[in-house]
Amino acid sequence: MLSELQEYVDIYKEIHKHYLKNWVSPPLYFDPIPSGKVIPNTPQKKINWTIPKNMELPKNKQDLAFYSIPQLASLIKSKKITSLDLTQFFLARLKKYQDTLLCVVSLTEEIALKQAQKADDELSKGVYRGIMHGIPYGVKDLLAVEGTKTTWGAGAYKEQVIEQTATVVKKLEQAGAVMLGKLTLGELAMGDVWFGGKTKNPWNLQQGSSGSSAGSASATAAGLVPFAIGTETHGSIVSPSTRCGTTGLRPTFGRVSRYGAMTLSWSLDKIGAITRSAEDAAIVFETIRGTDNKDLTVKDFSFNYSSEIDLKKLKIGYLKNNFDSLKDTKLETNVLDVLRKLGANIEPVVLKTTYPYDIIGLIVMAESAAAFDELTRTNQDDKLVQQHKNAWANFFRAARFIPATEYINANRLRTQMIAEVDAVVSQYDVLISPNFQNGILAMTNLTGHPVVVVPSGFREGRPNSISFLGNFFDEATILAVAKAFQDATDFDEQHPERFK
């Protein structure tokens, strides 16, 4: 066997002669759809977003910080505020609080002012691109924007300029949105610690904002941006949204192009929206979804969202095993009570898998170690801030000992897990669950099902949230149910006092 191993080493050496950029993907594409399953793709209908009429500027201008996208759109469309004024307002808030929250890697002020002026010029000529026209936003700094630094939150890359622009950023620009800046992420998309420090939770500055979409959730919760773009591999939208009390949408795997995004795991990375309401998340999602012929995992399915949903006609379940594993279920049970008062019939469901969901760790580690192979082999991983056992530097080194056979067999088990989980999920329109019980986060990231997480109250002074889990490519239903819950409660309208 020794001679065979030596031949492998020789092949490795040949591979290492060729520099592979992080975003070069293997010709193997993960598809979450179970074998034989057909997803109905209804014709796309025009979504008529409701822009409120007769919106007025608030007496206290700082109240604009927490206006919804439709409210801001109303002010811009009616020319009661210019996009330029709104952009300068949010830039000022970012500058004021960025040192408090450590949520900004870099402001893209020149780009923002140019895009805002363009939006105003177009509007003066009668050109209105739609509800996103002139709306400012922030983007997680693992999305490349040509001419700007894209640091991935890591000291080894803090001067990196990638000459490409992520598809989601291009789509937002085409819709007329205004990019304010690049927001923090835990280095290389883990946690909330980056090369500039630890991003803070606006509700408790003694606490990190969780990660890895740390800055996106923190800045949105504090009203420094109307919304932000985040990404998730294993909880990076759900976790900071829970910690910071924002609404987070993790779409179906293969819904949003990852072109221009840092790769962590080719079969698990997803891009989504972090907002302050489900309706805002729906608006952002409609803007960024769809194919681009660059990320070949992306499929074009319709998104026929409507806020007018009859809960009585939906089949809704709650994951009883996940509720039962909580010591205190008062906040979670209240979610069910609210929806039942709105007419929903909600039944208990048990969602389990006979397959080990902790295979997600092995899959992520193997894929991420390949994505950052050059970093490890050149010892540039020494520049990462965190060097402890449960940090990327150590994970990348250890992952080189994962046999290819085990990685492949973990994915074969994943195929069976997807079919098993989907057999339950597909019987319902929506499933409701606490966010972190019984491996639900790992399980649904492995299967690729969509989730929207929304605030559901406060537990011991900390934001609490709940997840609405849906069927493949049916973000429309979970967002509509989440909106119905938010319309009946005020949890999404509560904001950290010091940032008002």
Q: How many residues does the chain have?
A: 500
Q: Cα-flanking dihedrals φ and ψ of residue 211, to 5°?
A: -150, -175
Annotation says 320 is catalytic: no
Query: How far apart, in whole angstroms, are the C-alpha atoms of residue 250 and residue 248?
Result: 7
Annotation says 68 is catalytic: no
Query: How far apart, in whole angstroms, are the C-alpha atoms of residue 373 and residue 18?
Result: 12
**Any idea what the Cα angle at residue 144 is, between residues 479 and 221, rounded to 5°?**
40
Rg (CA), the chain: 22
Catalytic, out of 68, 83, 210, 212? 212
Which of 462, 464, 461, 465 minimizes the C-alpha distance to 451? 465
State which H helix or E strand residue 201 sits in.
Answer: strand 200-201
State the helix-helix crossing angle for 69-77 and 83-101, rounded to 10 degrees.
150
Catalytic, out of 68, 74, 83, 140? 140
Query: How far apart, in whole angstroms, are the C-alpha atoms of residue 417 and residue 423?
Result: 10
Annotation says 313 is catalytic: no
Q: How far from chain centre, in Å, is Cα 248?
A: 6
**Any idea what the Cα angle at residue 187 is, between residues 161 and 265, rounded to 5°?**
85
Catalytic, out of 68, 213, 236, 267? 236
Burial 194-217 (b: 16+ CB within 10 A, else e): bbbebbbbbbeeeebbbbbbbbbb
Largest Cα separation within the chain, whole Å, is: 79
The CA distances from residue 311 to 12, 42, 316, 322, 346, in Å, are 57, 21, 9, 23, 10
Sign of the C-alpha dihedral computed for residues 284, 91, 118 and 131 taken in this order: positive
Catalytic positions, written as ranges = 140, 212, 236
